[in-house]
């Protein structure tokens, strides 16, 4: 087996790399590195000001003021520097490791939670040309990356040497796995509808002269709803944050974490929120496509349509959190297994029938 890999895989690969001029290869690596830095920086910036937006939205809903003091150079600037102050505070706070905790795993768990959340962005297309890795199995890659985050949560609870943290991690893992199945079947419906695993091809399959009526939100409306609500459960957001219910289990799997280690879990949660929002836009709302496609009106650049749709779903994340009460754990599991899962299985069949029958305007 190793001989086969050496002769048939490694040798052609090495030959292809070595045949390239060194300077050209270095430029290629530098180009990829710059793109990665830009994507990560944009995600971190969006994370920071999503926390600011959440505090302002919650304040508006509850008739409060929200952040309005922290600014720069003596100017309050509506509190826009509050995320920066929060980040600096988290960096300089002490990381306390419990006495009998597994130190290596305790430190590794936040990295395992954050790593997949960032890695998934490698295949996200921002328009028809702006994508870091335009791979054919992009949808499969997304499923794989988002599934890995549960390991960081389980390890965090186990390594903390705390029964509260361990119970919280088990509840969180059970909830994530339960709703991942429904999300997976919803993505299968999108795959069947578009006939491709490539995210760019999925967006292009939703183009047409009818604009937003060509998007998959209409033929896949139940899956649209299931995917977004399952995304709420995947990210442990209200009304599905029972694993972090402070009045019940002392904040769940990250109760023993402090400082930047706790902030890492926080970053992972909000990064996954942004990821779910942009994926919902790509899979069901035409991604970067204009809702007025085919209508002679002045249009905005394609990336702004995608960012606008993503912002809408992020606002829904915040609005729902401060509107609905927390579910009981049995209600959460019943919704995932007895409601969402049967609906998704049925709709896979319905979508297949629509594709075979070439129902216009989506599949004709």
Residue by residue, DSSP assigns 221-279 as: HHHHHHHHHHHHHHTT-TTS-GGG-HHHHTTGGGTT--HHHHHHHHHHHHHHHHHHHHH
Residues 172 and 104 in one domain: yes
Q: Which pLDDT does position 298 carry in this prediction? A: 54
Residues 102 and 173 in one domain: yes
Q: Is residue 10 part of a domain?
A: no
Q: Which pLDDT does position 23 carry in this prediction? A: 59
Q: In this structure, what are the phi and psi dihedrals at residue 210, rounded to the nearest 5 degrees?
A: -95, 5
CB 149 within 8 A of CB 196: no
Q: Where does a domain end: 92, 123, 154?
A: 92
Q: Which pLDDT does position 264 carry in this prediction? A: 92
At 294, list the tokens.
């085919």
Say how many domains are in the chain.
2
Q: Which pLDDT does position 248 carry in this prediction? A: 58
CB 288 within 8 A of CB 302: yes
Q: Which pLDDT does position 5 carry in this prediction? A: 37
Q: Which pLDDT does position 229 carry in this prediction? A: 94
Residues 214 and 74 in one domain: no
Segments of the chain scoring below 70 in pLDDT = 1-24, 74, 244-251, 294-301
Residues 87 and 100 in one domain: no
Q: Which pLDDT does position 8 carry in this prediction? A: 46
Residues 81 and 126 in one domain: no
Query: In 3-state terms, what secondary structure has residue 342?
Result: helix
What Rg, from alpha-carbon coordinates, does the chain have?
Answer: 22
At 36, list the tokens.
């990665």
Q: Where does a domain end: 55, 77, 92?
A: 92
Q: Report the alpha-carbon distance of residue 79 to residue 67 in Å, rounded.
A: 5
Q: Is residue 353 part of a domain?
A: yes
Q: Is residue 338 part of a domain?
A: yes
Domain limits for position 311: 96-357
Q: In this structure, what are the phi and psi dihedrals at residue 75, rounded to the nearest 5 degrees?
A: -100, 130
Residues 110 and 45 in one domain: no
| Residue of 99, 254, 110, 81 whose CA lies nearest to 171 | 254
Q: Where does a domain end: 70, 92, 114?
A: 92
Residues 132 and 263 in one domain: yes
């Amino acid at each position: 087996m190793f001989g086969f890999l050496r002769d048939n895989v490694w040798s052609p690969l090495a030959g292809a790399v070595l045949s390239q001029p060194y300077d050209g290869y270095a430029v290629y690596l530098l180009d990829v590195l710059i793109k990665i830095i830009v994507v990560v920086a944009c995600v971190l910036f969006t994370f920071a000001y999503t926390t600011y937006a959440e505090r302002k939205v919650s304040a508006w809903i509850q008739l409060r003021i929200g952040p309005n003091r922290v600014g720069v150079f003596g100017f309050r600037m509506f509190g826009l520097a509050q995320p920066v102050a929060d980040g600096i505070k988290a960096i300089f706070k002490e990381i306390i490791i419990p006495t009998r905790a597994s130190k290596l795993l305790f430190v590794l768990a936040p990295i395992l939670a954050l790593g997949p959340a960032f890695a998934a962005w490698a295949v996200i297309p921002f328009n028809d040309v702006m994508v870091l890795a335009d791979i054919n199995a992009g949808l499969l890659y997304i499923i794989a990356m988002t599934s890995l985050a549960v390991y960081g949560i389980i390890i965090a609870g186990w390594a903390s040497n705390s029964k509260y943290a361990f119970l919280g991690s088990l509840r969180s893992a059970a909830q994530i796995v339960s709703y991942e199945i429904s999300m997976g079947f919803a993505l299968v419906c999108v795959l069947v509808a578009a006939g491709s695993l490539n995210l760019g091809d999925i967006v292009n399959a939703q183009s047409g002269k009818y604009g937003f009526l060509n998007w998959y939100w209409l033929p896949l409306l139940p899956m649209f709803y299931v995917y977004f609500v399952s995304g709420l459960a995947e990210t442990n957001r209200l009304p599905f944050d029972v694993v972090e219910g402070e009045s019940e289990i002392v904040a769940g799997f990250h109760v023993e974490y402090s400082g930047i280690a706790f902030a890492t879990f926080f970053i992972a949660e909000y990064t996954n929120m942004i990821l779910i929002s942009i994926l919902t836009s790509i899979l069901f709302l035409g991604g970067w496509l204009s809702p007025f496609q085919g209508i002679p009106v002045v249009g905005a650049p394609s990336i702004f349509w995608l960012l606008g749709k993503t912002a809408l779903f992020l606002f829904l994340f915040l609005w729902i959190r401060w509107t609905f009460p927390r579910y009981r754990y049995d209600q959460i599991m019943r919704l995932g297994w007895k409601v969402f899962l049967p609906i998704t299985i049925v709709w896979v069949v319905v979508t297949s029938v629509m594709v075979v029958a070439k129902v216009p305007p989506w599949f004709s």
